[in-house]
């Protein structure tokens, strides 16, 4: 089977996590979520994890070279022998260039970049509709509302809107995405790697389109 190395792109709230999990659950691809592998490395006390923790404890961003090092560790694993889906990195063109060079040193290339595109207003509506109970259950005012407005189904406690889900916070996150991450779209499009998907469609439809593209990329890689 041809090796397949993919990057997931899209604004916050576009559904990358959902689609990444669905895609890798049925494909022999390792799902590499940079936030998860960073937390795991810190918890396990690996060499890179210890270095990353020092930056985090100081309130600094973890340097790109450390993050790429963590990604390469996972890419070298047996689980990623047939490929991977990378979510959460790169976040800007400089990181994209550095990642490409690092993978190239391993003799691996990016097979495709999957962009799940969703308009800002749809993102704001999706995320700002979320409410959380004291037990941690997440509701959505449109898609999964509580039986009694504003109250948790299990204990009747008041539902809250997390700060991250407030419209003003979401718009700030989107502004950062447009300024820093969106230039990656043109960067990968110029390399002929970009594939666009309508993230406003039903999750099942987005998944079907992603799988169709992945199948095509596998065929191309096998030729």
pLDDT over 70 at 140, yes or no: yes
Q: pLDDT, tens digit, for every residue of 7-44?
A: 999 999 999 999 999 999 988 899 999 999 999 999 99
Residue 211 appears among annotated catalytic residues: no
Residue 22 appears among annotated catalytic residues: no
Mean pLDDT over 134-160 rounds to: 91
Residue 130 appears among annotated catalytic residues: yes
Residue 16 appears among annotated catalytic residues: yes
162 falls within a domain: no
140 falls within a domain: no
Q: How many domains does the chain have?
A: 1
- State the maximum Cα–Cα separation within the chain, in Å, rounded to a whole number: 59
CA distance 182 to 28: 28
146 falls within a domain: no
Which backbone phi and psi does 68 adopt, to 5 degrees?
Answer: -65, -35
123 falls within a domain: no
166 falls within a domain: no
Residue 147 appears among annotated catalytic residues: no
161 falls within a domain: no
Residue range(s) defining the domain that contains residue 112: 4-118+181-222
37 falls within a domain: yes
Active-site residue among 26, 162, 172, 212? 162
Active-site residue among 137, 151, 173, 196? 173
165 falls within a domain: no
Looking at residue 1, what is its pLDDT? Answer: 54
CATH of the domain at 45: 3.40.50.300
pLDDT over 80 at 62, yes or no: yes
Active-site residue among 91, 166, 171, 218? 91
Looking at residue 223, what is its pLDDT? Answer: 46
Q: How confident is the model at residue 222 (pLDDT cuts 50, 70, 90)?
A: low
């Amino acid at each position: 089977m041809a090796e397949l190395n993919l990057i997931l792109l899209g604004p916050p709230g576009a559904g990358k996590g959902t689609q990444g999990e669905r895609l890798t659950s049925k494909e022999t691809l390792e799902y590499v979520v940079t936030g998860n592998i960073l937390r795991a490395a810190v918890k396990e006390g690996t060499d890179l994890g210890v270095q990353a923790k020092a930056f985090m404890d100081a309130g600094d961003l973890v340097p790109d070279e450390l993050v790429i090092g963590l990604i390469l560790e996972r890419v070298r694993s047996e689980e990623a022998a047939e490929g991977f889906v990378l979510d959460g990195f790169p976040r800007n063109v400089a990181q994209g260039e550095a990642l490409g060079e690092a993978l190239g040193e391993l003799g691996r290339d990016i097979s495709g970049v999957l962009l799940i595109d969703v308009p800002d207003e749809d993102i704001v509506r999706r995320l700002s509709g979320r409410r959380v109970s004291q037990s941690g259950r997440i509701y959505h005012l449109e898609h999964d509302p509580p039986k009694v407005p504003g109250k948790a189904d299990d204990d009747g406690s008041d539902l809250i809107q997390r700060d991250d889900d407030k419209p003003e916070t979401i718009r700030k996150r989107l502004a950062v995405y447009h300024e820093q991450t969106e230039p990656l779209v043109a960067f990968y499009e110029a390399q002929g790697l970009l594939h666009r998907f309508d993230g406003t469609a039903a999750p099942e439809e987005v998944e079907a389109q992603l799988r169709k593209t992945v199948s095509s990329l596998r065929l191309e890689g096998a030729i």
